Amino acid sequence: MKKNTSTNSNLKKKDLQVNTTDATDQFMTTDQGVRINDDNNTLKAGDRGPSLLEDFIMREKITHFDHERILERIVHARGSAAHGYFQVYESMEKYTKAGFLQDPSIQTPVFTRISTVAGFRGSTDLSRDVRGFSVKFYTQEGNYDLVGNNMPVFFIQDAMKFPDLVHAVKTEPHNEMPQAASAHDTFWDFISLMPESMHMVMWVMSDRAIPRSLRMMEGFGVHTFRFINNKNESHFVKFHWKPLLGTHGVAWNEAQKISGKNSDFHRQDLWDSIESGNFPEWELGVQIIPEADEFKFTFDLLDPTKLIPEEEVPVMKIGKMVLNRNPDNFFAETEQVAFHPGHLVPGIDFSNDPLLQGRLFSYTDTQLSRLGTPNFHELPINRSIAPVHNNQRDGQMRQEINTGRVSYQPNSLGGGCPFQAKMDQGGFVSFNERVDAHKVRERSESFSDHFSQATLFYNSQTDVEKNHIIKALRFELGKVETEAIRARMVNLLSQVDKTLADKVAVGLGITVHKPEKPMNKGVGADADPKKHEPKSVEQKTKSSNALSMIKNPTVTDSIKTKQVAFICADGVHNPSVVSYKNALEKKGAVVKIIAPNLGFLKLEDGKKLKVDQSLLIASSVLFDAVFIPSGKGINALKENKEVAEFITDAFKHCKVIGGEEEGAALIQSIQIIKEAGKKLDEGVVLNKDTTAFIKALGKHRFWEREELV
C-alpha cells in the first residue's frame, strides 16, 4: 500500500493531462483538422447577401457552442417573465399583412421574458450587463417571436463571432471567475481587438446596463427586419419598446449595494408590481424605411452595430403591451419558454444582416440541446394557439397523438392533406429579393465604420452620464491585469472621443499617445486590410436626445410605482404619516413603513402603525426616496447608525429626501447634509409641502448632486 501511495503521489501534472493541447504557433482548423482561412465571416451570397446553409465551418462552430451547456441557457440564463397582451392602435395594412397588427379591437396574448446575459441562473439581477427583452406573440396565424435586447446595437457584426464573444465575456475557464461580470482580461482582450464593438461598449458602460427596474427599460429588436404588405411591397423596419414609466437606471455604487441587500431586486420588483395591479406597460414603436431608401444613410442598415437616429427616422408608436399576470410555475413557463427570431408570421421577414442570419440557424439548435427534444414547440408555454398540422412525427417527449396512416406529402391516402396554403390563404412566402452575387466569406466595406456611432452615443449624453461612462470604464479596465489590453482599449477610446480617452487613462495611470490606427481583426487571413480598415464616417445626426436616459423623450414626471421609505419610531406623529402617505399613494407611489424593529409602532396619539420592514432589512438602495415624519419619538433615531447610513446613501445616490419638523431636524443633523449646507438641491424637501416632494420624486434623481459628494 505504501509503495502504491508513493507512486501515485509522484505522478506529474503532465502525466494526468493526456488530452491537453496547446495552440501556440498552430493554425486554426475545423474539428476535422481542416485549416480555416477565415474565422470571422459567414459564407454569403455577396458581401451584403444572405448567409449560405453550406457554410460547414460556421455550422460546426455554432453547433458546438450551442451544445456547450446542458439545461441552463448558455446566455440569458437568469430571467424573469410574465404573461400579458398586445393591442395595436390602428391597422398597419399599409406596411404589413401581419394579422395581429390589423385590428385594434383584438388583444393578442404575449409572454415576455427579460434576462441578464452573462451570469448563471443564480447570479445577481444588478450586474452591469445587457438585458435580453423577448416577446412571444400568440397570434391567430401562429407564434411570432420578437427576440431583442434593451440596447439597439450589438458587439459584433457577424454571427461567426458570437461563440468568441460569449467565451470571452463568460467566467474565465481556468478558475470560473468572475461571475456575471465583464471586468476581466479575456473580455477586454477580445473587445480591444474588435473595434466593431466600440459602439456597444458605450451602451454597456452607460447606466443603460444597470436599470432601475425591468419595467423602466427600453427594448429593441436590434436587427433590421422587413414588413411585407398584401401588395408584396417591402419596407425595412426597426422595432422599439418604449416603457410608459420612462427609462431609468441606478448608480453603479448603488447597484453593488443592491446586490448585497437583494440580488433578486429586479425579479421581485416585476413580480410584486404585477401582483399589486401596477401592470408594466410598453408601447411598440417602429422605424419604417422604404426599400428605395436602403442606401441613403451614412451607415449600413444591415450592420447590427448601428442604429438609426430617431431624428432621421422617427419612431411611430403602433400599439401597447401590458403584462398583467405572473407565471404559475417558474420552470414550466419562464425556464421552458423557447424563443427564436425565425418564428415569423406572414407580413414580417428577415433582412440579410449577417448576425441575424446566423441566429436563424443557432436558435433551433440551442433549443434542441437545452430542452432535449424537437418537440419543444408542444410544451404549453411554447404551443401555438393556431392549429398545427404537418407531417412531423415522433421524437422524444412527443405529446401530439396523430391519427391516420399518412405522414408524408404528396399523398393520396390522406386526400393530399395537409394542403399547402397559397399566399392569399395565409401561406408564408419569403420576400422575393433578387440575389446575384459570388459566394464569398467576406464583410461589406460599408460595415467598416466602427467609431462614428460610438461618438454619436457619447456626444448625446449629459455631462453626468458621460462621467458615469468614464467611471465605468475605469472600474472595468482597472480590473484588467494585462497592461497591454488596457493600453489598446485607451487607444480605441481615443478614436471615439479624445477627452473620454484622456479621463479614462488618468484613472488607469496610462499616458495617451498619438492614436494608432486600430487593426480590424474581423476579417479573414487573406482579406485586404486597407479595404477593411476601421474608420469613422461623419454622421448626419451629431447628437440624439433619445440616446440619453436623462434627456430621453420617454422620461415622465410620473411617480407611479416609485418606492418611498418612511423611517419611523415609537411616538411618530400620526397626521404627518397619514397626510404624506395618502398624497403619495394617490399619485401611485408605494409607501413602506421602516422602523428599528418589525411588528407595530405606538403612535403619538396612542394608535398603532404596522411596520413593513426593519432597518436591518431595509436600505435606501431599495427605494426611490425617503421621508421622515414629525413626532417627538423621531428624536430616538438620531443616534441610530442605520438611519444615518440610510440618509447618507440616499443623498449620495441623488435621491429625494424629505422630512417634517423633528424628521427634518434629524436629516439636517446628518453629517453629509450639514456639509452640503446652502448647496442643498430641490431634491431635499424639509417642510410639510407634499407637492414639492411629489414634484421632486417625479424628476427621479438630482444627478447634479454628485458634484457635492
User: Which domains are seen in the chain, by residue range?
Assistant: 73-387+450-556 (2.40.180.10), 563-707 (3.40.50.880)
Q: What is the pLDDT of residue 624?
A: 97
Q: Rg of the chain's alpha carbons, rounded to an integer?
A: 28
Residue 454 pLDDT grade (very low, low, confident, very high; cuts 50, 70, 90): very high
Q: What is the pLDDT of residue 677?
A: 87
Q: Which of 41, 143, 149, 552 is catalytic?
A: 149
**Matching residue, cell 401562429:** 142
- What pTM was computed for the model? 0.90
When the pLDDT of each residue in the chain is averaged and rounded to a whole number, the result is: 90
Percent of the chain with pLDDT over 70: 94
Distance CA(149)–CA(210), nearest Å, equals 13
Q: Mean pLDDT lowest for which of 113-127, 208-222, 517-531?
A: 517-531
- Greater pLDDT, 677 or 234: 234
* pLDDT of residue 64 exceeding 80: no
Residue 148: predicted pLDDT: 97
All three cell numbers of 707, joined, read: 458634484
Report the pLDDT value the prediction gives residue 32, as an integer from 0 to 100.
67
Of all helices (H) and strands (E), which one includes residue 472? helix 463-478
Output the pLDDT for position 11.
Answer: 40
Active site residue 235: no
Q: How confident is the model at residue 10 (pLDDT cuts 50, 70, 90)?
A: very low
> At 583, is the pLDDT very low, low, confident or very high (cuts 50, 70, 90)?
very high
Average pLDDT on 645-670 reads 96
According to DSSP, the β-strands at 79-88 and 108-116 are antiparallel
Give how far Cα 331 sits from Cα of 242, 335, 339, 381, 680, Å. 28, 5, 15, 10, 49
The stretch 64-86 carries a mean pLDDT of 81
Which of 381, 374, 388, 515 is closest to 451 using CA atoms? 515
**Which of 76, 199, 240, 700 is an active site residue?**
76
- Would you say 643 and 615 are in contact if contact means Cβ atoms under 8 Å apart? yes
* CB atoms near residue 177 (< 10 Å): 9
Asked if residues 103 and 66 have their Cβ atoms less than 8 Å apart, the reply is no
Bond from prior residue into 418 cis (ω within 30 degrees of 0): yes
Is 76 annotated as catalytic? yes
Instruction: Give the pLDDT score at 40.
Output: 80
Q: How far apart are CA 511 and CA 437, in angstroms?
A: 47
Average pLDDT over residues 70-96: 90
Residue 66: pLDDT above 80?
Answer: no
Higher model confidence: residue 429 or residue 667? 667
Q: What is the pLDDT of residue 514?
A: 67
d(CA 705, CA 409): 70
> What is the reported pLDDT for 508?
96
Between 45-49, 60-64, 547-551, the lowest mean confidence (pLDDT) is in: 60-64
Provide the pLDDT confidence category of residue 398 given band limits of 50, 70 and 90: confident
pLDDT confidence of residue 62: 79
Is the confidence at residue 524, as pLDDT, over 90? no
Q: How far is CA 646 from the centre of its chain?
A: 29
Q: Residue 8: which pLDDT band, with cuts at 50, 70 and 90? A: very low
